[in-house]
Amino acid sequence: MAKGAPIGFRIDPEIKAALEAAAKADDRSVSSLVTIVLRDWLRENGHLPKD
């Protein structure tokens, strides 16, 4: 997958740890997991078209 636009933000350490654990359990990077979560939320809330 081609690299996309960078984004940076601060999150609670507890949330970061949970993201890292979830990404590891799903055999993917934290960046990939965050992209999936954001994409799905944006689609469900009408901000991105549904496939």
**By the 8 A CB rule, do 9 and 3 touch?**
no
pLDDT band for position 45 (50/70/90)?
A: very high
C-beta separation of 51 from 40 below 8 A: no
> Is the per-residue pLDDT at 2 higher than 80?
no
Phi, psi of 25 (to 5 degrees): -65, -30
The amino acid sitting at 29 is: S
Indicate the SS3 state at residue 7: coil
Length of the chain in residues, anyone?
A: 51
- Predicted confidence at residue 23, as pLDDT, reads 98
- As given in the structure block, the two tokens for residue 43 are 């689609």
Per-residue pLDDT tens over the stretch 23-43: 999 999 999 999 999 999 999
